[in-house]
Amino acid sequence: MGRRKVKFLSSLRKRIRPDNPGRVIIVDPGCLDRAGHHARLNRLLADHYRQSDERTLRLLVHKDCEPDLVADLGAEAVLAPSIYIGMPDTPNELEARLSQRNARLREELLSQLGAPRENDTVVVHSITVWTLSGLTDWLAQGKSSNIGARIILMFPPSLDFVDMNRQPGEEELNLLEAEFEGAVKRLGHLRMDIRLATESKSFARSLSATTQVRIETLSLPIEYGNQDAAPQNDDDGDTPPLFFFPGVGRKEKGFYNLPGAIRAYQAAGGHGRFLIQYAEDEDVAAELRALPNVEIFGRLVFGAEYLKLITDADAIIAAYDPARYGLRAGHIVVEALGSGRPVIVTRGTWMQEVVESLTAECGVAAESFTPDALGQALTRFDQNRLALRQGAAEIAQTVRKSHSRDAFLKQFLS
C-alpha cells in the first residue's frame, strides 16, 4: 500500500506541476510599429499571461519592429516575412513567393522555438495567407495532443493586397484561396487543442461552410479608459457638427474621397467642420487644406489623447472600401460607438454589419464608395443628427461590454 501511495502522490505532483511546464508563445510577424492593432494586442496578451501564467513567455515579432517597441513589449524581433505582402509584378511569381514566404516562417519558428512541445500554448492574433501555411507546418511538428493554439484569421486572400496598383487575376485569386482554405483544413485536423476565429460573422460563416472547420467570431478588445463612464450627449443641434476622420489617411479607408465629399456636402448647404487626423498623401492634403472648415491634425496619437479626439467629435467617418472591408474588421467603428458617437460608414462593409446589429439607430451608410455618396451621407447625418447622437448614446454601454478587454480574452483564450 505504501508503494502505491508513493506512486499516486508522484503522479498527482506531475499533474499539478508537470516536469515540462510548457511555454506561452505569441507569434506576430506583422508587428512593425506602434500604429494599428499589433502593438496593442501584443501588449494586452503579454500582460495577461505574465500576470496569470507561470510559464515562460516568448513574444516573437518582425525583425524590423521599432526597437523601443520591442523593448517595451519584452519581445524578440526575429521574424520575417511580414504578414502583409504586396502582389508580385507578374502572375508567374505568385506561387514561388507564396511558397517561399510560408517556408521561411516555418523555418524561423523551428530555429527560434524548436517544435511545439507538450503544454505549450501558441497564440497568433494576426495571420494571412502569406504565412498561414508556414504556421500550420510548424504546428504540425508538435507530437503531443496537449498543445494549445489560438489563431485569429484576419481576412480572406481576396482582401489582402497591400499593393493597390495591381489586383490579382482570377487564376491568382484561385491559387491564393486554395492555399488559404487548405491550411485552414489542415489546422482543423491537427491533434491538439486548437481554436480558429475571425472578427467578422460573415467571414466565419463562409469559411466554416467551405472548409467544414469550426470558425468562431470574436469581439474586439477595445480600451475605453474609464469603462463605467457614461458618454456625454450635450449636442444641442445648433452648433455646426464636427466630423472626425481618425487614423492614417489611406485610399481603402476613403481618404481620397474626402475632398469631393466635403465639396458635395458644402454645396448642399452643410456647415460642419472636419478634422482629419493624419494625411498620408500630400496632394490630397493640400486639396483638403484649401477647403473651408477643414483641419489636419497631423500626427498619430494613442490612448487617452486619441479617445478624446473621438469623444470631442459629433460623428466619426469610417466610410471604407467594401472591396477591402467587406469581411475585414475595423476597430475605429467600435471605438466610436462605445464612446457614444455615431458613425458614417459604407454600405456592404463589416462596419455597416456592426451598425445594423445594434438596437438603436447610430450611423449613416454611404450608398457606394464614392465622393458623392459620402457627401450625401454627411448631409443625411445633419438631417438626423440629434436622433443619431441619442441612439449612439443608448447603445454605447452595450458596445463597451461586448467589445472589451475581458470579453476578448475570455472568448479567445478560454
Query: For residues 142 and 149, what is the distance between their CA atoms, to the nearest angstrom?
Result: 11
Report the Cα–Cα distance between both ends of the chain, in Å, rounded.
39
pLDDT of residue 81: 87
| Domains recognised in the chain with CATH numbers | 18-218 (3.40.50), 242-402 (3.40.50.2000)
What average pLDDT score do residues 283-292 get? Answer: 96
pLDDT at 329: 86
Residue 1 pLDDT greater than 50, yes or no: no
Convert the pLDDT of each residue in 94-140 to its tens digit: 889 899 999 999 999 999 999 999 999 999 999 999 999 999 999 99
Query: What integer is the mean pLDDT of 381-401?
Result: 95
> What's the confidence (pLDDT) of residue 232?
58
Q: What pLDDT score was predicted for residue 224?
A: 82
Is pLDDT above 90 for 331?
no
Look at residue 15 and tell me whether its pLDDT is greater than 70: no
pLDDT at 12 over 50: no
Among residues 80, 152, 143, 78, which one has the least CA distance to residue 116?
143
Give tens-digit pLDDT for 360-371: 999 999 999 999
Strand order of the sheet with strand 76-79? 76-79, 56-62, 23-28, 121-127, 148-153, 193-198, 215-217
Local confidence band at 14 (pLDDT 50, 70, 90 cut-offs): very low
CA gap 398, 395 in Å, rounded: 5
- Amino acid 90: pLDDT: 78
Question: And the C-alpha cell for 403?
Answer: 467589445
Q: What is the pTM of this model?
A: 0.82
The H helix count followed by the E strand count for the chain is 16, 13
* 165, containing H or E segment: none
pLDDT of residue 236: 63
pLDDT tens-digit readout, 207-254: 999 999 999 999 999 888 764 444 555 666 679 999 999 988 989 999
C-alpha to C-alpha distance for 283 and 288, rounded to whole angstroms: 9
